[in-house]
Structure 1
Amino acid sequence: MDSDSTPPCAPSWGEYSLQHVRESAEAFSAEREWEQFHTPRNLLLALVGEVGELAELFQWKGDAGCGPGLPGWSDAEREHLGEEMSDVLIYLIRLADRCGVSLAEAVRLKFEKNALKYPAEHARGSAAKYTQLAVSEPKTNS
């Protein structure tokens, strides 16, 4: 494969939005009368379990087997990875919905906050936490 070609595992996001996932999860749960079980606590615990299942896929592969593009992963492993990632995303979106949090808005705001905490000119190429970067406080018009 030449350096300009797209790796075979490159994601294709399509048009399936967070809102569509939220609506699908809500309808799926309602059809099964599961809302009674979908308390924030229960959803969080389910989410943690799914994150554990996702982590298990990487557990013994080492850094070399988990690099970008996941070299050496079989199609079956990639499919399983997608299933576990989907479970995590669905539970996270369902948790946000049941907590009354607009996840899309929360993500947008978090990117804004992180841009202030990690200005590119100070954070570029560094894995340091924002408290360790040489960044001056943003000036306010007072």
Structure 2
Amino acid sequence: MREDLAARLRTFAAERDWERFHTPKNLAMALTGEAGELAAEFQWLTPEQSADVMSDPEAGRRVRAEMADVYLYLTRLADVLGVDLVQAAHEKLDEGERRYDAETYRGTARKAPPLP
């Protein structure tokens, strides 16, 4: 599935001769912009409203579209850089499990010291 999406994005860019614009820098900047647009959808909502945002058809449509934009740019960036996002995410979660043992950090948001 992930590979299919990356391949489809690769084809999409190639058919439009956009590969030259899809540099890591440009893709990271576009990703940041789209993440900002996603955050803007939640900016003035209460915590309760933000948790219920998908129940509003129009707001839900906008949030879904912004999430898709973020996912597409991240997928394209990973493809251009040759990064397996699922593997990278598992590695990051493994690190989090080492840094934040459940017994010590349950119910707290404090930061762990850096790993040696």
TM-score under structure 1 length normalisation: 0.73
State the identity as a percent: 39
Q: How does 1:20-35 map to 2 (within 5 A)?
A: 20-35=4-19
Per-residue CA distance 1:30-89 (angstroms, 9 max, x = gap): 12111110000110111111011101101111223113xx25841111111111000001
The alignment of Structure 1 onto Structure 2 pairs a total of residues equal to 115
Give the 3 Å change call, closer, same or farther, for CA 109–72 of structure 1 in structure 2.
Answer: closer
Q: Structure 2: any 5+ residue segments left out of the alignment?
A: none
* Aligned residue type for 1:106: A
Which residue, 37, 50, 67 being the options, matches 1:85? 67
Greater fraction of residues in helix: 2
| 1:45 paired residue number | 29
In 2 relative to 1, CA 119–40 (structure 1 residues): closer, same or farther, beyond 3 Å? same
Are the counterparts in 2 of residues 65 and 72 from structure 1 also a CA contact under 8 Å? Answer: no
Q: In structure 2, what residue type is equivalent to 1:39?
A: T
Alignment root-mean-square deviation, CA: 1.9
Alpha-carbon distance in 1 for matches of 2:79, 2:109: 32
Distance 1:90 1:72 in 2: 20
The alpha-carbon deviation at position 91 of structure 1 amounts to 0.3
Query: Where does residue 41 of structure 2 map in the other structure?
Result: 57
Q: How far apart, in 1, do the equivalents of 2:53 and 2:71 lie?
A: 24
Amino acid at match of 2:98: L
CA distance in 1, matches of 2:53, 2:5: 29
Partners of 2:38 and 2:66 within 8 A in 1: yes
List runs of 5+ in structure 1 lacking aligned partners: 1-16, 138-142
